[in-house]
Amino acid sequence: MSVQPHVPPTFVGLSHAEVLELRFDDAPADLVDGLIPRGVLVVVAGLPETFKGWVCAKAAAIVAAGAGELFGREATTQGHVGYFWQDDSTRNEAERVQLFAEVHETPADLPVRWFLNEGVVLPDDLDRLRATIEEYGFVMVVLDSVYNFTPGLDLKDRDVGQLFARIKAEVCDPTGCTVVVVDHMPWATDTNRKRLRSYGDVFKGAAARAGIYIDAEGSRLYVEARGNNIRGFKRTPAFWDADALELRLVDTKAHEEADEELEARVREWLIANPGSHSTTAVRKSVKGNDKRIDSALERLKTSAEVQDHGRDGGPWSGQGGAGRYWIASVHAAETPAALFGPRLAEVVAGGSERATSATPAAPRRGAEGDRAEVWDELDDDVWRDDDIDFVGAGEAL
């Protein structure tokens, strides 16, 4: 009697027509609109001390409440949330929960269940994780942070990428629960900053359907959100609001409008005050943040609305001074008497015993010696006068 070869059962699949007829419940596709999708693996990754845990705490709170926003995106689903936390001592974790609840005035019956240092080990406990999700009906679970759940895995190798794929297949798919994994990013370089991602294996990124990535350049923070089926947002400046215990995006539109308003004030002041003015004088007169005023001057220089008579360019550069002096372009072609303000014009007109002309000829665009002829006619005390923006002929030029 011949033995028939074993024929494995075939996969069933769906016809094209059957897929077109599929209908799902009315629940929104996202837990947080355009940011955290439902029933997938999501990564919140960033460099150390970039407030990843606080971001996840806010996400947990608004999903549990079914109201509130994260990075300007509204919660669209209300449901139970589980937060598995193995990133600090139990006392520190509990005190942070209490502090967050106090600041955000979250009620005691907020449907968030905290699992503080319960020793979850992955992938060993994937079945227990799934069973816990089903027991409590969680719509979202946070694992904070991934390296504390994976003591036996090489974080740089493909082990964690395979784990992420298993979380998606063995937990998210059968339960419909979103699993948010807190992860770290590699230190940024000019190359990898263009595409922020989690540390290690590229398959980690492939398994995650969406990600929130927090980058740092010095003290400046940036947030980017992207995914397969979410709107997300491009890399955007952010700041830590210590009073609200929340990482917030900078309102770039309002920031741009404020920059335009500051540029207008700098431009108007330089036009209303003919002459070459030091950066310090512009800062004192215009008022505002020094760095933003400096940036406004640079942008006005780029658009040719002002000229820089300092060390790195302009018709009066190369005179040996280390300072930078600014003049509205509409005044740049005037005579030196007008160019350097009313006090100096008065001196040139007769206040200096060595002045040879009421209106000295404008410096020629020749060698340094040609330009210096005019300035040699001026008393040294002119450059020390309080009405003048500079203190020495070398600096003034």
- List domains and CATH numbers for the chain: 26-250 (3.40.50.300), 254-396 (1.10.10.10)
pLDDT, the chain, mean: 81
pLDDT in the model for residue 176: 95
pLDDT mean over 275-300 = 90
- Res 256 pLDDT > 90: no
- Residues 366-388 pLDDT 10s: 433 333 333 333 333 333 333 33
pLDDT mean over 203-211 = 80
pLDDT mean over 175-203 = 74
Q: Report the C-alpha gap between 40 and 112 in whole angstroms.
A: 19
- Res 114 pLDDT > 90: yes
- Res 198 pLDDT > 80: no
pLDDT mean over 260-281 = 91
Residue 277: name the closest of 246, 309, 249 by CA: 309
pLDDT in the model for residue 194: 58
Task: Check: CB of residue 308 under 8 Å from CB of residue 324.
Answer: yes
